Amino acid sequence: MLNIRNLHTKYGPISVIRNVSLHVDEGETVCLIGANGAGKTTLLLTISGLIKPSSGSIVFDGNEISGMRPERVVQLGISQAPEGRQIFAPLSVLENLRLGAFHRHGKNREENIARDLNEVFRLFPRLHEKREQMAGTLSGGEQQMLAIGRAIMANPRLLLLDEPSLGLAPRLVDTIMDTIKTLNNRGITILLVEQNAKKALKISNRGYVLETGRIILQGKSSELSEDSEVRRAYLGKDYKEISQRH
């Protein structure tokens, strides 16, 4: 579904994504893990078209999308729930969700939007309760739900999630993870960036490990979560290296 080859992204002269190749097959949940500053957000933004890559190719369903305008990318079926719950604070929950469907058109537009709105409210009953409330007054967890809900309103086939569990209480993290699994079961393909590597590996099929803009390791999530190196670096198991290499 998504095939990325030799992607390079720079901020000015500084290379942030260096020769990244990765793929996501239809129906998969793939996670991307890596330390702060590794380039995870930059990679997602490059896929969404919000940042232009300096070179490389991003093919989605056979279409080259690298360098495309973000609206086009959304129309093709990729939608991103941004890091840090960038919602529109002064607008209501409902208005925020409707904004997510902004780029949709075609016959039965209104019907389809109404159906998806119902779907979002079924996934997140809390959003239904608070649908008239100003988004800025939602709790952190609710804002996160709203960000995901808004991404779903674009009716994506590929959903990019950037740290959906950031700053949430453990119980809420589990709820969000369950929701991601549910979304995947309903046929949405997911590329997930998570600081909570343990949880992300649990709900994904495969994973890639990004280190200073380069992919250093990849594999089935079940294997990565057992991997000593991954555990040490990303699963919070005693970071310090005790043994000597030579």
Partner 1 sequence: MENDKVEYLPEDAWRQWHTELLQSTVNRVYERMPFYKKVLDEAGIRPEEIRSMEDLKALPFTSRTDLASNYPYGFFAVPLRDIVRIHTLGTSASTNPIVLGYTAQDLNNRKWLTRRFLVTCGVTPEDIVQICLDPGMAIPGQDLKEGAEALGALVIPPDPLSTKTRLQVLVDFKTSVLITTPSYARYLMRHLVQNGLPLASLSLKRLILVGETLDEETRREIELGLDMETRAGYGVSEATGPGLAYECPCKCGLHLSLDHIIPEVIDPCSGQQLGPGHWGELAITTVTTRSNPLIRFRTGDLTRLNIEPCECGRTTWRMAPVRGRTDGLLAIRGVLIDPADTSNLIAMWAGGKRLPFLMVLSDKDYLTRLELWIAINEEIFSGSLPHSTTG
Secondary structure of 144-170 in HEC code, one letter for each residue:
HHHHHHHHHCCCCCEEEEECCCCCCCH
**Binding to ligand ATP in span 29-88, by CB under 6 A:** 34, 36-42
- The residue within the footprint of partner 1, chosen from 64, 174, 178, 229 (CB under 8 A), is 229
How are beta strands 2-11 and 214-220 bridged, if at all?
unpaired
Residues 203-222 that bind partner 1 (CB under 8 A): 206, 208, 211, 214-220
Taking the complex as a whole, the smallest distance from the CB of residue 8 to ligand ATP amounts, in Å, to 13
Least Cβ distance, residue 47 to ligand ATP (angstroms): 12
Buried b (16+ CB within 10 A) or exposed e, 97-129: beebbebbeeeeeeeebeebbebbbebbebbee
With respect to Mg ion, which residue has the nearer C-beta, 42 or 155? Answer: 42
Distance CA 174, CA 72 (A): 33
> Are the CB atoms for 13 and 55 separated by under 8 Å?
no
CB 135 within 8 A of CB 91: yes
Q: Which x/- pattern over 13-42 shows residues binding Mg ion (rule: CB under 5 A)?
A: ---------------------------xx-
**What does 34 interact with, of Mg ion, ligand ATP, partner 1, none (CB < 5 to 8 A by kind)?**
ligand ATP
Q: How far is the CB of 192 from ligand ATP (least distance, A)?
A: 13
Distance CA 200, CA 31 (A): 6
Work out whether 170 is an interface residue with ligand ATP (CB under 6 A).
no
* Region near partner 1 per CB under 8 A, out of 115-123, 124-132, 162-170, 235-243: 235-243
> Binding pattern to partner 1, positions 14-53, x when CB under 8 A?
----xx-xxx------------------------------
Asked whether position 108 contacts ligand ATP by CB under 6 A, the answer is no
For residues 232, 234, 240, 246, the Cα torsion angle rounded to the nearest 10 degrees is 50
Q: For tokens 């991103």, what's the residue?
A: 80
C-alpha to C-alpha distance for 87 and 2, rounded to whole angstroms: 27
| Tokens 């390791």, residue located | 217
- Expressed in angstroms, the distance from the first to the final Cα of the chain is 43
Q: Given the rule CB under 8 A, which residues bind partner 1?
A: 3, 5-6, 8, 18-19, 21-23, 206, 208, 211, 214-220, 223, 226-229, 241-246
Q: Given the rule CB under 6 A, which residues bind ligand ATP?
A: 11, 16, 34, 36-42, 195
Q: Given the rule CB under 5 A, which residues bind Mg ion?
A: 40-41
